[in-house]
C-alpha cells in the first residue's frame, strides 16, 4: 500500500503490531481458560471428598459437645483448646407455631406479616412474651454448639 506520508506508514505499522498483540492476548486468554478448567476438573473430586470429610468431622464435634456438655463446658460458654475454641450458647428464639399468621392478621399486627402470607419470624424475635402469647406462640430455649479455629499453618 502506498501511504500519503511516513507518519501514515508508521501509524499503520503500529496498528499491525496492536492487532498482533490483541491476537496473542486473545489466544493466551483462551489457552489459560482451558488450563484453568483442566485444573478445576482435576481437583473437583478431591475437594468434594474433603468437603464430605469436613462436614462429618464438624457433625462429630457438635455431637461430642452436645453429649458431653457438662463435662466439656463446666458451666462456661467458651473453652479454649490448643487448636481452637469450643462455644456453647443458649438463645431465646420464637417458636414457629401453627396459627400464628391467622392471629397476626386477626390482631392487625401487619409489621410481622409478609404479604406473601408468611410470618416474619425475625420480627417476632423482637416481640415481648405477652405479644407472642396473643398470637399463639412462645419462646423456647435452643442450645447452640459451634467452634472457631485458630490461625495455623497447614502441612
The answer to whether the beta carbons of residues 54 and 46 sit under 8 Å apart is no
Q: Does 100 have pLDDT greater than 70?
A: yes
How many helices (H) and strands (E) the chain has is answered by 5, 5
Which DSSP string do the residues of 70-133 spell out, in sequence order? HHHHTT-SEEEETTEEEEEEEEEEE---TTHHHHHHHHT-GGGEETTTEE-HHHHTTS-HHHHH
Which of 48 and 154 is assigned the larger pLDDT?
48
Which DSSP string do the residues of 111-125 spell out, in sequence order? GGEETTTEE-HHHHT
The C-alpha cell 501511504 sits at 3
pLDDT confidence of 153, banded at 50, 70, 90? low
pLDDT, tens only, 117-143: 789 999 999 999 999 999 999 999 999
pLDDT, tens only, 30-80: 999 999 999 999 999 999 999 999 999 999 999 999 999 999 999 999 999
Phi then psi dihedrals of residue 84, to 5 deg: 160, -170
What sign for the dihedral angle of Cα 27, 30, 32, 35? negative
**Distance between CA atoms of residues 142 and 72, nearest Å:** 18
Amino acid at each position: 500500500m502506498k501511504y500519503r506520508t511516513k507518519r501514515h506508514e508508521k501509524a499503520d505499522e503500529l496498528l499491525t503490531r496492536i492487532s498482533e498483540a490483541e491476537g496473542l492476548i486473545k489466544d493466551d486468554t483462551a489457552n489459560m481458560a482451558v488450563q484453568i478448567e483442566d485444573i478445576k476438573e482435576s481437583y473437583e473430586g478431591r475437594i468434594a471428598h474433603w468437603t464430605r470429610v469436613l462436614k462429618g468431622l464438624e457433625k462429630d464435634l457438635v455431637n461430642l459437645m452436645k453429649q458431653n456438655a457438662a463435662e466439656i463446658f463446666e458451666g462456661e460458654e467458651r473453652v479454649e483448646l490448643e487448636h481452637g475454641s469450643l462455644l456453647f450458647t443458649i438463645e431465646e428464639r420464637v417458636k414457629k407455631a401453627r396459627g400464628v399468621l391467622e392471629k397476626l392478621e386477626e390482631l392487625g399486627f401487619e409489621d410481622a406479616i409478609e404479604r406473601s402470607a408468611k410470618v416474619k419470624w425475625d420480627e417476632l424475635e423482637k416481640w415481648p412474651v405477652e405479644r407472642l402469647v396473643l398470637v399463639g406462640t412462645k419462646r423456647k430455649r435452643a442450645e447452640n454448639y459451634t467452634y472457631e479455629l485458630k490461625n495455623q499453618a497447614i502441612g
